[in-house]
Homo-oligomer: A and B are copies of this chain.
Amino acid sequence: MTKIYTLDQIKSVVETMNFSTAIEEGFVAYSKGRVIVPPVGELIFEDPPGDTHIKYGYIKGDDYFVIKIASGFYQNVKLNLPSSSGLMLVFSQKTGVLDTVLLDEGYLTNVRTAVAGEIVAKYMAPENVSAIGVFGTGTMARMQVQYLKSLIDCKRIIVWGRSEASLQVYKDDMETEGYDVQTTLVASDVTESSNLILMTTPSIKPLIKIEQIKAGTHITAMGSDTAEKQEIDSRILGTADIVVADSLIQCQERGEIYKAISAHDLKLEQVIELGSAIESGNRIRTSDTQITVADLTGVAVQDVQIAKAVCTALGNVEG
């Protein structure tokens, strides 16, 4: 009998869980070739604009495989609906039978993305963070900061957004969470004050330029996951000391690395894959002056790992 869980049930277990080890192990297994991840399935809609991604795969010899569907319809806000939605499906690898439906409405995709950013920060953030720079004021702009809480002592945020109104809501919300928040409509305010920058927008035009980036800055680019989206100047990747991709294969077709390679600002040989880079357990950043960039497009192995962990937790709650 297929088990079905709602968002409320899922949230109730997720809020007490820590996924970083499971997802680190997933990235390492992925880079070692032990994970089957076919190309991302994609539906693009024009009116209203939206995109749906199907990410799916399995760790060889594991009990389960996972198919995850996540959509972004950015005009949903006009209808008072969240822009992101979706679900995760967990199947038996031995029989193909559907074991569990996680009606997570895109929540677990956000969580596993925030966890990937947490892993990146653990290995790549500067030792002393002057301020956390955030581009965007949406779900990931909040969740990513929260997932860095245990890792980064700094409680100062400088946030860029397109509207005063959304910046004010962000400031109010995050100050309730104990942060000191400065807002700005000027991108260079962020790059000047911060050395740990989180890009969390669905922008299709670069928001920051190479000239603005100080030595010692780390950028985690989380927003761009299609061939269209781009948040940072390609030349930043070309001149960075270290560029990390969550998936070398995927980043050749979507995200910042795809854009930078297409613009001839970056060569694939300059890019290292997250799972390979963290396998030893050593930090990826080796000095306080390096400029480092991580491009997260979202890999199915993250969905596989989080869905399995949540199913186990939900099963234990039931039992």
Contact = CB atoms under 8 A, between A and B. Distances in A.
A275 to B, nearest CB: 20
Interface stretch (A82-90, A121-129, A150-158, A201-209): A82-90
Contact of A43 (B2, B65, B81, B84): B65
Interface of A is mostly: strand
A58 B46 CA distance: 12
Nearest to A97: B85
Contact of A38 (B4, B42, B71): B42
A41 B69 contact: no
A36 interface: yes
B85 A71 contact: no
Contact of A67 (B50, B54, B105): B54
A54 B54 contact: yes
A69 B95 contact: no
Contacts of A45: 65, 93, 96
Contacts of A97: 71, 81, 85
State how many copies of this chain the complex holds: 2
A91 interface: yes
A81 to B, nearest CB: 6
B38 A96 contact: no
A73 interface: yes
20 contacts: A4-B4, A38-B41, A38-B42, A38-B43, A41-B41, A43-B56, A45-B96, A48-B95, A50-B96, A52-B65, A52-B67, A71-B91, A71-B97, A73-B94, A73-B95, A76-B95, A76-B96, A86-B96, A86-B98, A87-B89
Given A52-B91, A69-B98, 8 more contacts: A38-B41, A41-B41, A45-B93, A45-B96, A48-B95, A52-B65, A71-B91, A85-B96
